[in-house]
């Protein structure tokens, strides 16, 4: 038999190209990535799996549902109605009641540092709106008094309050829990979600290694990475949302004892937990409490954490798998 070498090579090349093309199309079909603006922040959904696009669609719907009920700034939400219009007997979902109860538990365990009733103080500062401002000191004191007198009544799914509530410190973490439930249904091989700095990892990476999540030093650079399997990695820090007035930065996490943005030795607190809602509330609470009391609170829960101080010291719980990449930062 006579072999036409040129023809054979061409056929092989074509076959090779077809195989590569099929591979690329196949991989592209399985890999999903999308960025959206939700919950007042950028969220990114990435993952690989046959139905990852459907999972993403359902996750976005779930977030919309959470916002429609729980956003204190959306004038059409149920919480807005409770805060501003009805004040009583508003019927909420089981999810909302769960978050309310968890918030109250963390309020108790943090000595009031985490307090969803701080909404009137947050409004004075204008956080959540377009016109932030520095309030008068006497206004802050008077409003704090109001907050102290807030009563929240829960009867089954009915909620009443004489104050105003804000789930901003916990709802985004909870959205991560909802997202995980959805991922469990579609079971992609892995997914990494970023809800405005809250990282949710699902499944396992193709190369079998753990997910490495970078932690910001407060100036937009990563100083360390934590290695995790399936987890929520949630950071609170004053650098994330703030406004500037006369050269002073005012951030959005309020010290419940002063009514001013929390100010202590901390840059940030990162909490790692199976529960996004818990990690979110604890990170906010610890940021208010400071290093020592924050660690005491962390030790009441089965979570891991990383506290970063202004003098570049890094304090962690013993069970964490952390790697410091910037030599200016020291592990304590």
Residues that bind Mg ion (CB under 5 A): 169, 236, 280, 283-284
Distance CA 69, CA 329 (A): 41
Window 113-132: contact mask with ligand ADP (x via CB under 6 A): xxxx-x---x----x-----
Neighbours of 130 (CB within 10 A): 5
| 27 DSSP assignment | H
Rule CB under 6 A: choose which of 47, 169, 276, 290 binds ligand ADP. 169
Q: Calculate the CA 329 to chain-centre distance.
A: 24
236 part of the interface to ligand ADP, by CB under 6 A: yes
The entry of ligand ADP, Mg ion, none that residue 168 binds, CB within 5 to 8 Å by partner kind: ligand ADP
> Which residue carries 């004053």 as its tokens?
238
Q: Is 191 helix (H, G, I), strand (E, B) or coil?
A: strand
Among 179, 254, 277, 298, binds ligand ADP (CB under 6 A): 254
Q: In the complex with Mg ion, which residue's Cβ is closer, 120 or 169?
A: 169
Tokens coding 302: 């089965």
Rg (CA), the chain: 24
**In terms of CB distance, is 55 or 175 closer to Mg ion?**
175
Q: Would you say 115 or 143 has its CB closer to ligand ADP?
A: 115
The sign of the torsion formed by the CA atoms of 101, 180, 83, 289 equals positive
| Cα separation values, 76 from 70, 79, 80, 97, 119, Å | 10, 9, 7, 19, 17
Q: Does the footprint of ligand ADP cover residue 73 (CB under 6 A)?
A: no
Among 47, 49, 120, 168, binds ligand ADP (CB under 6 A): 168
Q: Which stretch binds ligand ADP (CB under 6 A): 162-170, 185-193, 225-233, 313-321?
A: 162-170
94-109 vs 52-70: helix axis angle to the nearest 10?
A: 70
256 binds ligand ADP (CB under 6 A): yes
Name the pairing type of β-strands 158-161 and 198-203: unpaired
| Binding flag, residue 177, ligand ADP (CB under 6 A) | no
- What residues make contact with ligand ADP under the rule CB under 6 A? 113-116, 118, 122, 127, 166, 168-169, 172, 196-197, 236, 240-241, 252-254, 256, 280, 283-284, 288
């Amino acid at each position: 038999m006579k072999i036409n070498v040129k023809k054979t090579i061409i056929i092989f090349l074509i076959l090779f190209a077809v195989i590569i093309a099929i591979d690329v199309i196949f991989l592209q079909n399985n890999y999903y990535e999308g960025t959206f603006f939700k919950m007042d922040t950028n969220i990114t959904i990435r993952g690989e799996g046959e139905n990852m696009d459907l999972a993403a669609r359902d996750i976005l719907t779930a977030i919309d549902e959470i916002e429609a009920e729980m956003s204190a700034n959306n004038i059409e939400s149920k919480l807005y109605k409770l805060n501003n219009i009805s004040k009583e007997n508003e019927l909420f979902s089981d999810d909302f009641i769960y978050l309310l109860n968890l918030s109250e538990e963390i309020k108790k365990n943090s000595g009031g540092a985490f307090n969803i009733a701080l909404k009137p103080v947050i409004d004075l500062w204008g956080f959540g709106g377009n016109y932030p401002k520095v309030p008068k000191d006497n206004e802050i004191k008077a409003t704090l008094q109001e907050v102290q007198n807030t009563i929240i009544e829960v009867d089954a799914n009915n909620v009443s309050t004489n104050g105003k509530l804000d789930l901003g410190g916990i709802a985004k973490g909870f959205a991560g829990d909802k997202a995980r439930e959805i991922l469990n249904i579609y079971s992609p091989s892995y997914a990494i979600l970023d809800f405005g700095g809250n990282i949710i990892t699902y499944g396992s990476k193709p190369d079998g290694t753990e997910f490495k999540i970078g932690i910001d030093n407060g100036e937009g650079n990563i100083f360390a990475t934590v290695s995790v399997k399936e987890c929520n990695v949630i950071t609170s820090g004053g650098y994330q949302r703030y406004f500037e007035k006369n050269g002073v930065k005012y951030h959005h996490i309020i010290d419940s004892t002063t009514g001013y943005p929390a100010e202590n030795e901390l840059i940030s607190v990162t909490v790692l937990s199976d529960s996004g809602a818990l990690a979110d509330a604890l990170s906010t609470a610890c940021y208010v409490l400071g290093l020592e009391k924050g660690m005491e609170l962390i030790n009441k829960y089965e979570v891991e954490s990383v506290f970063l101080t202004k003098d570049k010291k890094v304090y962690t719980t013993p069970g964490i798998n952390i790697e410091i990449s910037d030599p200016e930062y020291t592990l304590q």
